[in-house]
Structure 1
Amino acid sequence: MKRRRAGQIGGAASAAALGLVAGGRAVRRAARRKNNDVYADENFALIDEDRASVVSADDGIELAVREFGPPDAPVTAIFIHGFSNRMTSFHLQRRLLSQRWGTDVRMVFFDLRGHGLSGQPPDEHCSIDQLGADLVSVVRATAPRGPLLLVGHSMGGMTVLAAARLQPDLFRDRVIGVGLLSTTAAGLSQVGLGRNLRSPAIDGFRLAVRASPGVVQFGRMAARALVWPVLHAASFRTEVSPSLARFAYEMIDETSVVTIVKFLRALELHDESDALPVLASLPTLVLSGDADLVIPTSGARRLAAALPHSELVVVHRAGHMVHLEFPDLVNDAIERLLDRALEFHESDPTHAR
């Protein structure tokens, strides 16, 4: 299948004088930041404006879905966001990859349960297993036929792995490529986010949520003091556009406190190592920022070592939100994945029936 490719890639007086100088410098610095804000006029609501639908998960939780591109496109790419994010975290993939792919790829995004516009689940249904089942529900509802490219970031990558373990036939028959961004198959309790959030204060916060989630939801200052600083600091490790940083931090801050605490334990306990053999024959992309404080690059290296057809991409100085921090590098890697996946699909016609 041929694809079109578009655009690329002494005294009061002295103190007052010093204050004026400092003030002038601050104004100039602010002006420079404003002038350098390449995303100052960005429409970060782009995905929200795409075709909307709702998919019911197997336990009845409603999942908010957005789609862009022709329903009969040759390939459907489904993007699965990470912990404390929402589908709009893939804004720069939606805007820039759609320009490259044109009508050849339909793009599907959805909010994980408890995130964004999707429904809030009970405690017992806040697991990586359930997220994997949700992904399968979204596939069945939005893309029941044809080749699939799956791209997951952070907890979204774990969601892809869980789906592979739960539904290996789906991956054998229809998935032609998998992108795993800033994620790991196991071991998060000892490194990254698990280590950074291991404290008596966090444990007490978890207990309070279980006892009275409604009360804690109104006590958002607790989350601001305990959880959000870690997530903010880990998002970007280079200086990024103020508008882009604000977009990412608001996404985190608007996530329900209850959701954050419910899924923390699921992240610490998750182990999807059994899914790796299902992906072993597929083209995969394993991508990580080498300054990621949430899921260190060591997890990506272990993933790539277990996946014979993987491309390992380590992005220098990037944090956890690497797809927003270095979108061109990430989008290039996703496009290479699609090219390899199409070659794989064309050489194996039993796939994507």
Structure 2
Amino acid sequence: MSTANRAGWLAGAAGIAAVGSAAGVTAARSLRRRVTAEDPHRDEDFELLDADRSTVVTTPDGVPLAVREVGPLNAPLTVVFAHGFCLQMGSFHFQRARLTEQWGDQVRMVFYDQRGHGQSGEAPPETYTVEQLGQDLESVLAVMAPRGPIVLVGHSMGGMTVLSHARQYPQRYPTRVVGAALIASAAEGVSRSPLGEILKNPALEAIRFGARYAPKTVHRFRGAGRTVIGPILRAASYGDEKISPSVVAFSEKMMHDTPITTLVEFLHALEVHDETAGLTTLRKVPTLIACGDHDLLTPMEYSQEMAVALPKSELVIVGGAGHLVQLENPEIIDDALVRLVERSTPSKLVALTRRVRDRVRNHG
């Protein structure tokens, strides 16, 4: 980068805060959301996953991915969860809590932080692509589930990760990957959603340019970047005004902890990605497509379009829910995942276990 170009970029970046503040205020006003004073999750232990067995999977390009697992190593089925943009594996907190009890020793669950997120390592900005995330998922599977059937669960960008994996590794379906869930996701760029308008903000492109060519200076403008995108993410996360304040605080902490380079690079990746070819592969296996009908980031039209393309899919639209539907209405998503596993598992062992547990619970 030449001295002149760098000077020009820095001069432009000086105005980012003003642009960002204006965009942030506008977004906050147009997407204002209230939370309830009552808090059913006030005493929830949102650090549950930190106590699970931990592993580090190193990708071929040297990025350490933080992994947690729960359930027997010799379980008949492994379910692998890929989280969404600006989140961490903890975004599946309620699934980990409920489904551990539901599935018992029949299922092992694997969770991991995507590159640049949570406890996983940061990476060169040019690797923050949906294609790379599909390759990272393959690295996790190679280490954590080298044998036996697998069901993949992706939320938001994690759903795009699953589609990317399906496109790049079609030979794994249905021989190893026997089912998949795409929650609040999209097969191609999200430019048609309200997020698309925010992506046109020059502040974000300036920060992204700085992350690539002047990384030592970009941290000065991280507040501006969060001002642009933060109100959108927060307002779009939940649809119901009665959402628990503790759940909101938990998700907002994950977003706030995401490095600014991760934020702006993956925002761009979400805008330009096209993993529709992965749908062809997923036609081979039972799928779950789920979303909230108040999702502003990946509107339900995206899910409806994917469901049409997948004849073995179940489409679940959660009334009143926003983008973080698995945190907002976990029971509906949990039940749908149980049905997916039962449809995907030829042995019916999981279905039998569920019936026994339900019988005990009903007569208890």
User: TM-score of the superposition, structure 1-length normalised?
Assistant: 0.86
Letter in 1 for 2:208: R
Residue 209 (structure 1) shift: 2.6
Letter in 1 for 2:268: R
AA of the residue aligned to 2:294: A
Residues 192 and 344 (structure 1 numbering): CA distance in 2 closer, same or farther, change over 3 Å?
Answer: farther
Distance between the aligned counterparts of 1:154 and 1:184, measured in 2?
7
Of 272-281 and 135-144, more deviation after overlay is shown by 272-281
Offset at 1:36?
2.4
Map Cα deviations across residues 207-264 of structure 1 (whole Å, 9 max, x no partner).
Answer: 2333323333344321231111111111111121111100000100110011001111
- AA of the residue aligned to 2:193: V
Q: Where do residues 267-286 of structure 1 align in structure 2 (5 Å cutoff)? A: 267-286=270-289
Map 1:182-331; keep pairs closer than 5 Å. 182-238=184-240, 239-331=242-334
Shift of 1:320: 0.4
Report the residue type matching 1:321 in the other structure.
Answer: L
Residues 314-348 of structure 1: per-residue CA shift (max 9 Å, x gap) = 111110000000000110111111111114889xx
* Alpha carbons of structure 1 residues 44 and 318: separation in structure 2 relative to 1, 3 Å: same
Q: Which runs of 4+ in 1 moved over 6 A?
A: none
Alignment of 1:102-121 (within 5 A): 102-121=104-123
Q: How many residues align?
A: 314
Deviation at 1:190, TM superposition (A): 2.7
The alpha-carbon deviation at position 281 of structure 1 amounts to 2.1
Aligned partner of 1:55 in structure 2 is 57
> Which blocks of at least 5 consecutive residues in structure 1 are unaligned?
1-32, 347-353
**What SS does structure 2 have at the residue aligned with 1:313?**
strand
Unaligned runs of 5+ in 2: 1-34, 350-364
- 1:48 and 1:66 in contact (8 A); partners too: yes
| Preserved contact between residue 125 and residue 261 of structure 2 (Cα < 8 Å) | no
Deviation at 1:181?
Answer: 0.1
1:175 to 177, 187, 193: 177
Secondary structure at 1:173 match in 2: coil
Contact 1:81 1:155 survives alignment (8 Å): yes
Q: 1:83 aligns with which of 77, 82, 85?
A: 85
**Match for residue 353 of structure 2?**
none
CA distance in 1, matches of 2:296, 2:329: 16
Partner secondary structure for residue 93 of structure 1: helix
Matches within 5 A, 1:113-192: 113-192=115-194
Equivalent residue number for residue 44 of structure 2:
42
Q: Give the stretch that moved more between structures: 141-150 or 122-131.
A: 122-131
Q: For the Cα contact (< 8 Å) 1:135–1:159, is it kept in 2?
A: yes
How far apart are the structure 1 equivalents of 2:266 and 2:74? 35
Task: Give the share of equivalent positions with the same residue, in percent.
Answer: 47
- 1:172 is paired with a residue whose SS is coil
Which residue identity does 1:264 align to in structure 2? L
- Rounded to whole Å, the distance in 2 between the matches of 1:326 and 1:217 is 35
Q: Distance in 2 between matches of 1:296 and 1:219?
A: 30
> Counterparts of 1:345 and 1:218 in 2: how far apart (Å)?
55
CA distance in 2, matches of 1:233, 1:35: 17
Distance in 1 of aligned mates of 2:146 and 2:236: 37
Q: For 1:159 and 1:345, locate their aligned partners in 2 and report how far apart those are by CA, in whole Å.
A: 28
Cα distance, 1:277 vs structure 2: 1.1
Residues of 2 paired with 1:275 and 1:237: CA distance? 29
CA distance in 1, matches of 2:323, 2:272: 20
Aligned counterpart, 1:4 = none
Per-residue displacement from partner, 1:135-158 (whole Å, max 9, x unpaired)? 000000001000101000000000
1:213/1:336 CA distance change after superposition, 3 Å = same
Indicate if the aligned counterparts of 2:131 and 2:161 stay in contact, CA closer than 8 A: yes
1:58–1:133: 8 Å Cα contact kept in structure 2?
no
1:206 deviates by 2.2
Contact kept in structure 2, 1:176 and 1:344, CA below 8 Å = no
Give the CA deviation at 1:34: 8.8
Task: Identify if the C-alpha distance between structure 1 residues 51 and 312 changes in structure 2 by more than 3 Å, giving closer, same or farther.
Answer: same
| CA 196–94 in structure 1, closer or farther in 2 if over 3 Å, else same | same
**Does the 8 Å CA contact 1:176/1:345 hold for their aligned counterparts?**
no
Q: Deviations over 1:272-306 (max 9, x none)?
A: 11111111121000001111111111110110000
Is 1:336 the equivalent of 2:334? no
Alignment of 1:9-48 (within 5 A): 36-48=38-50
d(CA) in 1 for partners of 2:92, 2:270: 21
Select the structure of larger CA radius of gyration: 1
Could you say what secondary structure the match of 2:153 adopts? Answer: strand
